Amino acid sequence: MGFEMFAVFPGCTLEKYSSELKEPLIKILKYLGIEWIDLGGRCCGMPLLLSGDSESFREVIRSNTDYLRNVVVITSCAGCFRVFREYYSGFMVKHLSQFILDLGFSSFPHKVDLRAVYHDPCELIRCRVAEEPRELLRRIPGLSLSEFKLNRESSTCCGGGGLVKAIFPSLAVEVAYEKILRELPQDVDAIVSSCPFCYLNFKDAASIYSLNIKVYDIIHILGMALGVL
Amino acid sequence: MFDNVFQTYKLRLYEAMDNSFIRAALRRAVDSFRINRDKALKRYSDVEDKRLRLIEVKKHVLSNLESYVKQTMESIESNNSYAYYAKSINDALKIIDEVIGSGKMIVKSKSITSEELNLNYNLKLKGNIVYETDLGELIIQLLDSKPMHILSPAIHVPKEKVAELFSKISGENLPPDIPKLTMFARSFLRDKFFKADIGISGANAIVANTGSIVLIENEGNARYVSNTPPKYVVIAGLEKILPTLIDATILVEVVSRYASYYMPSFVSIISGPSKTGDIEKTQVLGVHGPREVHIILLDNGRSEVARDPLFSQALYCIRCGACLYECPIYQLVAGNFGYTYFGGVGAIWTAFIDRELHYASLIAFTCTLCGRCKVKCPMNIDTPEMILKLRESIHSIKLIPEPIRQIIENVKKYGSPYGLTNRFL
């Protein structure tokens, strides 16, 4: 393998929720000691794709492609990941969980005492990314990992996708609430996902319905396990 | 105009979402559906090969639709039955008017295709009396409501409400006891089957080379509808055509298992009117069954959809209803996520068959695109991909809900759907 240049693509949602999502991501990458180009501030175009504005979507792809040639793109947004996989070409894309696993991280220095259940984001599971986030979570000391009864390819949606949350916000939250109510395994303190939309939607459901459950993106768990959060 | 439709639709979704009856009924339905479907698929593991074969058959029929329609009509006519091709809803209603006329008593079994024609309304307008005979559909009809599921139309109505409704009709005080309520429906409808002038049904399949109508059911009402009245009328979409009886039996197995049954109680194969030659070998039509059988093949946009490389797969749908039970949105709002046809795949039918573009847009934008329907579909229908494409068509005719217009504008202007908060550098 030749020279690899890493490019971090936080995506629009991590930018919008910067202190909650982007900053932890940057801290993790700094801890890992890699060098990267920051592609912050850019949008992968998914909102346009989902809006049906294919012409503008293609323009965004063209404009982004100039920046993405011959790099390894790292993103923790399941939406960006899927769009890069399915609609772009000319570079490699890795979800943060894949990237860290590929670095060969076999143990994490800090304990994270948590009984967590992993929620498969639709955008990752349709790209067959299921095991990498689980494998990382399993390597974290103190963390016990549970599964929803319907998991991996059979997993159910949090309601936060497809722009439904933008149009019918209460409906999206209600889907998350219904999933928690109906599917959450017993003796679990937290839901962990690896997609900002799932994270935000579950978090909204937990806060609106005052549920006794913590909600994390995998970024937060990794940050804690590395001692940067 | 569109913005008003959007607001009304949104209100309806939110009302349904907050309706505890709908929620409770759907939770129970989804749980038992999943258990029974998985049991059925496990017990008959050969359904996997059969569904793959059925996909190929459907693909073949839809890409040769015109010649299959021709063959089907010839076969129907050779069975002493009447075959009609209805290009549009108006054509279909005109044929129905000629065949049925007015002042008739009609028994009808559940047919979503007839919803497409708003058939009950149109029959009543001509002075006919129509009785829906499927239990769920009867409840819906008596409530003057709208079906909420293709197989279980009254899925959102709890037993207490049914008891109240049936008590009013019977003048007795019926308890919310499901077997007792079912018995009431049986006695209420019994004489209607025998008094009716006409029976109307849809079809689960129409066999091209034998002209047979295939009906799949559990209650037994469709048998009465097709058998007791002197005249039997079938309205079926072109996508119901299958080449041979063997294909139809494959359909029976696939659709029932994915609809969570081992085997449906009744499968009827009807190939023409009732007949006898028992006296001097002289053929007489109409013995115990109908004397006349009329079969209307409804196009209403189907042959056009069949030619589309992507959307044609919407016609593969065999109406098992599995996708609805697996849909996160449908589980909360039932058939309010839909128009005549429900769920994500319903958006495609709403756009191209019902041609209600406002609703097609709103349904398409109610889909989270999670893809679970595709994973669970026996026909591998790629609804998410079709929804994306439909959103594209909808965008080109500018029927986009306001929040989405804002998102598009924000991305174009500021490089982020959220607007000014993170501007492109």
The answer to whether residue B424 neighbours chain A at the CB level (below 8 Å) is yes
Q: Which of residues 323-342 of B touch A (CB under 8 A)?
A: 328-329, 331-333
Q: Give residue limits of the domains in chain A.
A: 6-102, 114-226
The answer to whether residue A15 neighbours chain B at the CB level (below 8 Å) is yes
Using DSSP bridges, classify how beta strands A92-95 and A36-38 pair: parallel, antiparallel or unpaired: unpaired
What's the CATH code of the domain at B239? Answer: 3.40.50.10420
Is A162 close to B367, i.e. CB distance below 8 A?
yes
Is residue B204 within 8 A of residue B215, CB to CB? The reply is yes
pLDDT for position B157: 83
Is A56 close to B411, i.e. CB distance below 8 A?
yes
| Same domain (yes/no): B130, B148 | yes
B23/B386 Cα distance (integer angstroms) = 28
| Same domain (yes/no): B155, B277 | yes
pLDDT for position A3: 55
A27/A16 Cα distance (integer angstroms) = 17
Rounded (5°) CA angle A67-A72-A78: 95
Domain A114-226, CATH: 3.40.50
Q: Which two tokens stand for residue B323?
A: 């996708």
To the nearest whole Å, the CA of B29 is away from the closest chain A CA by 13
Q: What percent of chain B has pLDDT over 70?
A: 99
B104: containing domain: 47-303
Residue A171: list chain B partners with CB under 8 A.
Answer: 13-14, 17, 329, 332-333, 366
A54, A161, A168 ranked by CB distance to B370: nearest: A161
Nearest to B161 by CA among B142, B148, B189: B142
Q: Which two tokens stand for residue A118?
A: 């992993």
To the nearest whole Å, the CA of B95 is away from the closest chain A CA by 39
Is residue A65 within 8 A of residue B416, CB to CB? The reply is no
pLDDT for position A1: 44
Is A16 close to B368, i.e. CB distance below 8 A?
no
Q: Which two tokens stand for residue A30?
A: 């700094």
| Same domain (yes/no): B261, B346 | no
Residue A42: list chain B partners with CB under 8 A.
Answer: 415, 424
Q: Is residue B11 helix, strand or coil?
A: helix
Is A43 close to B366, i.e. CB distance below 8 A?
no
Nearest to A166 by CA among B5, B349, B369: B369
Is A166 close to B404, i.e. CB distance below 8 A?
yes
pLDDT for position A210: 98
pLDDT for position B421: 60
Residue A167: list chain B partners with CB under 8 A.
Answer: 10, 365-366, 401, 403-404
The answer to whether residue A63 neighbours chain B at the CB level (below 8 Å) is no
| Site from A14, A18, A50 to mutate, B interface, most B CB atoms within 10 angstroms | A50
With 90 as the cut, is the pLDDT of residue B149 above it? Answer: no
B368, B388, B418 ranked by CB distance to A157: nearest: B368
The answer to whether residue A41 neighbours chain B at the CB level (below 8 Å) is yes
The answer to whether residue B17 neighbours chain A at the CB level (below 8 Å) is yes
Overall domain count for chain B:
2
In a domain, B332, yes or no: yes
Across residues A197-207, what is the average pLDDT?
98
* Backbone dihedral region for residue B74 (phi beyond 0: left; psi -120 to 50: alpha; all else: beta): alpha
Across residues B377-382, what is the average pLDDT?
98
DSSP string of B336-368, one letter each residue: GSBSSSBHHHHHHHHHHTS--HHHHHHHHTT--
Is B329 close to A154, i.e. CB distance below 8 A?
no
Local confidence band at A55 (pLDDT 50, 70, 90 cut-offs)? very high
B70/B89 Cα distance (integer angstroms) = 20
Q: What percent of chain B has pLDDT over 90?
A: 91
Final residue in a domain of this structure, among B236, B268, B303: B303
**Chain segment B267-318, per-residue pLDDT in tens:** 999 999 999 999 999 999 999 999 999 999 999 999 999 999 999 999 999 9
Is residue A76 within 8 A of residue A95, CB to CB? The reply is yes
Is B407 close to A168, i.e. CB distance below 8 A?
no
Is A56 close to B424, i.e. CB distance below 8 A?
no
B367, B372, B411 ranked by CB distance to A48: nearest: B411
| Same domain (yes/no): B184, B215 | yes
Burial B279-308 (b: 16+ CB within 10 A, else e): eeeeeeeeeebbbbbbbbbbbbbbbebbeb
Other C-beta atoms closer than 10 Å to the C-beta of B263 total 14
Q: Which of residues 363-422 of B touch A (CB under 8 A)?
A: 365-372, 375, 387-388, 390-396, 400-401, 403-404, 407-408, 411-412, 415-418, 421-422
Residue A166: list chain B partners with CB under 8 A.
Answer: 403-404, 407, 417
Using DSSP bridges, classify how beta strands B129-132 and B213-217 pair: parallel, antiparallel or unpaired: unpaired
Q: Which of residues 147-166 of A touch B (CB under 8 A)?
A: 153-154, 156-157, 159-164, 166
| Site from B20, B330, B409, B411 to mutate, A interface, most A CB atoms within 10 angstroms | B411
With 50 as the cut, is the pLDDT of residue B23 above it? Answer: yes
Final residue in a domain of this structure, among B251, B272, B303: B303
With 60 as the cut, is the pLDDT of residue A2 above it? Answer: no
With 90 as the cut, is the pLDDT of residue B156 above it? Answer: no
Across residues A32-44, what is the average pLDDT?
91
Whole-number Cα distances in Å, B299 to A139, B170, B237, B238, B346:
58, 40, 6, 6, 17
Rounded (5°) CA angle B45-B49-B53: 150
- Of the listed ranges A98-107, B3-12, B189-198, the least confidently predicted one is A98-107
Is A156 close to B27, i.e. CB distance below 8 A?
no
Across residues A51-60, what is the average pLDDT?
97
In a domain, B129, yes or no: yes
With 50 as the cut, is the pLDDT of residue A59 above it? Answer: yes
| Same domain (yes/no): B294, B260 | yes
| Same domain (yes/no): B56, B160 | yes
pLDDT for position B158: 82
**Chain segment A143-199, per-residue pLDDT in tens:** 999 999 999 999 999 999 999 999 999 999 999 999 999 999 999 999 999 999 999
A56/B247 Cα distance (integer angstroms) = 45
Is B388 close to A52, i.e. CB distance below 8 A?
yes
Final residue in a domain of this structure, among B270, B303, B336: B303
In a domain, B170, yes or no: yes
In a domain, B311, yes or no: no
In a domain, B37, yes or no: yes
With 50 as the cut, is the pLDDT of residue B425 above it? Answer: no
| Same domain (yes/no): B114, B36 | no
B242 DSSP β-pair partners: B207
With 90 as the cut, is the pLDDT of residue B423 above it? Answer: no
**Chain segment A66-98, per-residue pLDDT in tens:** 889 889 999 999 999 999 999 999 999 999 999
